[in-house]
Amino acid sequence: MTHPTIKLFEQQAELLEIQGSAKGLDDAIALLAGWMELADLSEDDWAVLGEVGGILYRDGLRRRSE
């Protein structure tokens, strides 16, 4: 059984494909950063979401260098 949040990600990915969206890692990073600036996050939230952003950013750098 897929975790409900992972299922949401899968559904959103399918929707982006259906829409023919060209959004990629840079767009995801920008959305995350913008949302983090507006949200009232705890220090723990910042730490976790900062790690997510770091993973996305690192993956983007790796893809660009390939």
- Sequence ranges of the domains in the chain: 22-66
Closest among 48, 17, 4, 52 to 31, alpha carbons compared: 52
Total-model pTM: 0.84
Tell me the per-residue pLDDT of 25-57, one tens digit each, with 9 for 90 and over: 999 999 999 999 999 999 999 999 999 999 999
Q: What is the CA radius of gyration of the chain?
A: 14
